[in-house]
Amino acid sequence: MERIGGTAMNKLFEKSNINGLSLANRFIFSATWDGNADDNGFCTQRNIDMLVERARGGVGLIITGMAYVQADGRAAPWQLAVHGDEFIPGLTEMAQAVHDTQAKVILQLAHGGCYAPTALTGQEVIGPSVNDSDLFPKCRQMTLLEIQKIAEAFGKAAGRAKKAGFDGVQLHAAHGYLLSEFLSPFFNKRTDNYGGSIENRARILLEALQAVRDEVGEEYPVFVKINSEDFVEGGLTQDEMLQVCAMLERAGVDAIEMSGGTIYASGAYSSCRMGALDSLEKEVYYKEAAVRYKEKISVPLLLVGGIRSPEVSERLVIEGLTDYVSLCRPLIREPKLISRWRSGDTNPATCKYCNGCFGPGLKGNGVQCIAGAGNSAA
């Protein structure tokens, strides 16, 4: 029996199943923008190598970097794309390479919304509502037809993911991107059926989920990533998050990943918080929200944010606060972290949460740790 600090590790490394998706353990490589695609969004060998290295390092499931579902939805340079059939061959190579390691992989689907700049897309910036302020990027309000086409774009992108051999898809409705913007009254000032009440603000997400189901069927795993809250004044609250999750549960979503914060929020409440977590007590950014989620929602939960030790990971699962442990920056620094923990080296992840890993990505070299030994890129 494998042990961590004298405690059985069986729960972390037991097999599980999400709508037919069999997973070898409860550790997940959570999605991020990785800056590894080519200038047009096509999958490169760097995309593949990044995922394969983490798969070989022991994670049970990989969620890819966010792939934009429509040409006007590109949020960052060198971002993966899935808005046309021409991207399927490269994505097929990616899925097969991960499968060759015996791990599983799902494709994250996204639209950047007001954070998809004209400089990258060549098109007008769109969002739930017009914005002329300096609080976040200026954009115009989407028409009802554009909203319908966005939902359809998520569905078609999911169909491409399935054709490429991915084990499922995740709809990115967190961090202030388009689906998140609709959920948030901070961004969404509409007065029609897509604004106002939380039911209206969630409408596009539910329509996108239905469009995905229409393309891939009921037996294909479909996840959603959502904010626990926005951490901005006038943003999505925990209570509203729970209402949305209840709607997603009724709509048949297979798993929900909980994160928090937006691109707009800064410092301690951004979607990529900075600062070393030098004690077990400081781990788990969204624990309170996870407790409330598990009291009300039965859909499997993936919890991400500030988790860096096997002790805390095990406690979260055993105490029923999450079903799966999602890690991102710790696995950027240490691709073999999960194998290290499983082998008996139970020291916490060495990631310093400095966000320096995004620097190389913004220079066209892909996201990678720059903090020294203990990573594949140093």
**Residues designated catalytic:** 177
Please provide the DSSP assignment of 226-241 as one string. EES---STTS--HHHH
DSSP 183-227: H-TTT----STTSSSHHHHTHHHHHHHHHHHHHH-TTS-EEEEEE
Tell whether the torsion through CA atoms of 297, 298, 302 and 306 is positive or negative. Answer: positive
Strand 169-173 with 140-141, pairing: unpaired
Distance between start and end Cα atoms, the chain: 34
The identity of residue 358, as a single letter, is F
Residues 31/76, Cβ–Cβ less than 8 Å: no
Contact 285, 312 (CB under 8 A): no
Instruction: Name the 3-class secondary structure at 270.
Output: strand
Q: In one letter, which amino acid is 372?
A: G
Length of the chain: 378
The pair phi, psi for residue 241, each rounded to 5°, is: -55, -45
Where does residue 86 fall: left (phi above 0), alpha (psi -120 to 50 degrees), or beta otherwise? alpha
Distance between CA atoms of residues 319 and 308, nearest Å = 17
User: Tokens 């910036």 map to which residue?
Assistant: 125
> Token pair of 118, please?
């004209």
